[in-house]
Amino acid sequence: MSYILLAEDDRSLQFLVQRKLETEGYAVRSTMDGTEALALALNDRPALLLLDIGLPGATGFDVCRAVKQHYGTEAPPILIISTNGQESDVEAAEGVGADDYLIKPFSLRDLAERVRVFLNGAQPRQSYSM
C-alpha cells in the first residue's frame, strides 16, 4: 500500500501527526519542504496528501494544484492544513482542488477520522455515546 505524504514545516507537529497516523496503521512519509513534497507526490502517487500551507520551496497550494493537474481524475485526496482565522486560505484551498481542510488547532482524532473516511470510503458514524 502506498504511503500518506505529510508536508509540515513545524517539526513537532509533523512528528505528532506522523506518529498518530502510524499508530492507526498507515505508512507515512514526511517532509518539511514544499519542493520535495511535490517531487515525491509526482513520482510516487501517495495514497493521500496532508499539506501545510506555509512551506518553504513551494506552498501547500502550489503542491496541491500541481498534483491535481498531474493526476487528473486519478489524483489522490488532498487535505490542506490551515490556521484558524484565515478564511481566505480555505477559499484558496478549494480553488486549487483540495478535498478537505483542517484548521489549526485541530484534533488528531478528527484528523485520523477524516483520513480513514478518505482512504476507506467509509461513512462517518451516526450515533454517539460517551
Asked if residue 115 binds other proteins (CB under 8 A), the reply is no
Give the sheet arrangement for strand 4-7, strand by strand. 28-31, 4-7, 48-52, 78-83, 100-104
The answer to whether residue 72 forms part of the interface with other proteins (CB under 8 A) is no
Give the residue carrying C-alpha cell 485541530: 106
Member of 13, 32, 66, 119 binding other proteins (CB under 8 A): 13
- Residue 58 identity: A
Report if residue 129 touches other proteins, rule: CB under 8 A: yes
Query: Residue type at 114?
Result: R
Residue 56 binds to other proteins (criterion: CB under 8 A): no
Neighbours of 123 (CB within 10 A): 7
Q: How far is the CB of 12 from other proteins (least distance, A)?
A: 5
Residues at the contact surface with other proteins, assessed by CB under 8 A: 10, 12-13, 16-17, 19-20, 23, 83-87, 90-91, 103-110, 124-130
